Structure 1
Amino acid sequence: MPTYKLTYFNITGLAEPIRYILHQSKIKFEDKRLTFEEWPQYKNEMPLGQVPVLEVDGKPHPQSKAVCRLLARQNNLAGSSDEESYRIDAVVDTIDDLRQAISQYHWEKEPAAKEKLKANVDTKLPFTLQKLNDRVKKEGGYLVNGKLSWADLYYTATSEMFSGLLETDVNKDYPELKKLVEKVRSLPNIKAYLETRPKTMF
């Protein structure tokens, strides 16, 4: 059996979808959570100077979405056809576009620039969430093809970060998304992880 080690910070962020996929797939792994103070001593060890990085038998794998996609293909969480895989990837890219907008807004310090980024989020957030909510309703309770895929795990993990960064439950006005998140968080392997997960900032 391969050995797995995931290196990231003690936040949800880009690593949380990977953690969800690993736990849902019953893959044991070392969940190495760095402090921000520790990061400089590890930065040069990372292939691209950034995290998350998943080591498989000591071989580093950077780029979080590519890692998710690899694990999903290996554990029946990707599409069963090229078209279905594309649809999953397109949903994840849509979620990630929103993640980038929210993250840019959250971390911006300059007031005028932050106000412009807030206006972008105020437009993009409801538009994207409504589209995703409609999709879940149309697709039988999941984001793609009426069955669990890594897109559902990705959204559940990432929307938690959205809620933390924006200090509100982003799913509260979107009943289909709210039901999806509750369903994913109730999966036995995910539920067990969340019950023992270290306390994080967001």
Structure 2
Amino acid sequence: MAAKDRLTYFNVYARGEPTRILYALAGKEFEDKRIELEQWPAAKEEQPLGQLPVFECEKGTLVMSNTIARYVAKGFGLAGKDAWEEALNDQVMETCSDVFNEIPAKIYSWQVFKRVPEPEDSEKIKEEVKAKIVKSLNFIQKTAEKRGKKFIVDDKISLADVWLYCSLVFGKAAFSDMMEVTPWIKEFSQKMEDDEVLKKYLAERKPSALGI
């Protein structure tokens, strides 16, 4: 058990960034332990499931990025005021996780990581992935419009907003217009980046080793 909260993740944004942002929004300190990509083969065997992120606190250890972010958000009062708001936050998180996971599997495998050659129908693949993303974003927009709040679930930034924003940033290497792929997303991204706490964090955060 760690005396101080600690997040261990690669020196990229991706799955570790939502938790980092949640700590910044809450004004809480934690140890941001970053593993460089070349260090990973040696560090892999030390991890509970051989993967990252890993979160440690005085209560014990957690794995899986969604689980970690939920736990941290609930502890900071950023996951909803009741069961319904928690469910809405979870719904946005799971929607984003489901659709944005197609990017590393179908695009970043050749575009960012260079693990396989670029497929001959790469543009068609990107168009199909983008269409699925836009469909999911339109669904999230409807959820937000029904709430009628400043952000998706509440008038303050919550887990849903953080997860969506990080998902959009994650997708920028594949789609340069990701932060303004729809008018609502453009407005949402601007509201997030206008938040004084988040603005300060984004200006000072360490750059991603892979840009994602």
TM over 0.5: yes
The equivalent position to 1:174 in structure 2, one of 182, 189, 193, is: 182
**Residue 138 of structure 2 corresponds to which residue in structure 1?**
130
**Residue 78 of structure 1 corresponds to which residue in structure 2?**
79
1: CA distance between counterparts of 2:49 and 2:122?
A: 28
Q: Following TM superposition, by how much is the alpha carbon of 1:174 offset from its aligned partner in structure 2, in angstroms?
A: 2.0
**Residue 32 of structure 2 corresponds to which residue in structure 1?**
31
- For structure 1, which segment, 155-164 or 171-180, has the greater mean C-alpha deviation from structure 2 after superposition? 171-180
1: CA distance between counterparts of 2:91 and 2:146?
A: 16
**Residue 4 of structure 2 corresponds to which residue in structure 1?**
3
User: Is the 8 Å Cα contact of residues 141 and 180 (structure 1) preserved in structure 2?
Assistant: no
Matched, 1:163 2:172: yes
2: CA distance between counterparts of 1:30 and 1:135?
A: 34
Q: Give 1:56's aligned amino acid.
A: C
Q: TM-score, normalised by structure 1?
A: 0.88
Q: Following TM superposition, by how much is the alpha carbon of 1:127 offset from its aligned partner in structure 2, in angstroms?
A: 1.1
Q: Which runs of 5+ in 1 are unaligned?
A: none
Q: TM-score, normalised by structure 2?
A: 0.84
1: CA distance between counterparts of 2:105 and 2:128?
A: 10
The equivalent position to 2:158 in structure 1, one of 138, 149, 157, is: 149
User: Per-residue CA shift, 1:58-85, capped at 9, x if unaligned?
Assistant: 9332111101111111111112221221
User: Per-residue CA shift, 1:22-78, capped at 9, x if unaligned?
Assistant: 111112112122211101111111111100111214933211110111111111111
1: CA distance between counterparts of 2:199 and 2:186?
A: 16
2: CA distance between counterparts of 1:82 and 1:112?
A: 47
1: CA distance between counterparts of 2:159 and 2:143?
A: 15
- For structure 1, which segment, 14-23 or 115-124, has the greater mean C-alpha deviation from structure 2 after superposition? 115-124
Aligned length: 201
Identity of aligned residues (%): 29
**Residue 56 of structure 2 corresponds to which residue in structure 1?**
55
Q: Which runs of 4+ in 1 moved over 6 A?
A: none
2: CA distance between counterparts of 1:134 and 1:64?
A: 26
**Residue 43 of structure 1 corresponds to which residue in structure 2?**
44
1: CA distance between counterparts of 2:154 and 2:32?
A: 31
User: Per-residue CA shift, 1:84-105, capped at 9, x if unaligned?
Assistant: 2112111110011111111211
Q: Give 2:151's aligned amino acid.
A: Y
User: Per-residue CA shift, 1:104-137, capped at 9, x if unaligned?
Assistant: 1121525269677535403302211222233333
User: Is the 8 Å Cα contact of residues 134 and 181 (structure 2) preserved in structure 1?
Assistant: no
**Residue 191 of structure 1 corresponds to which residue in structure 2?**
199
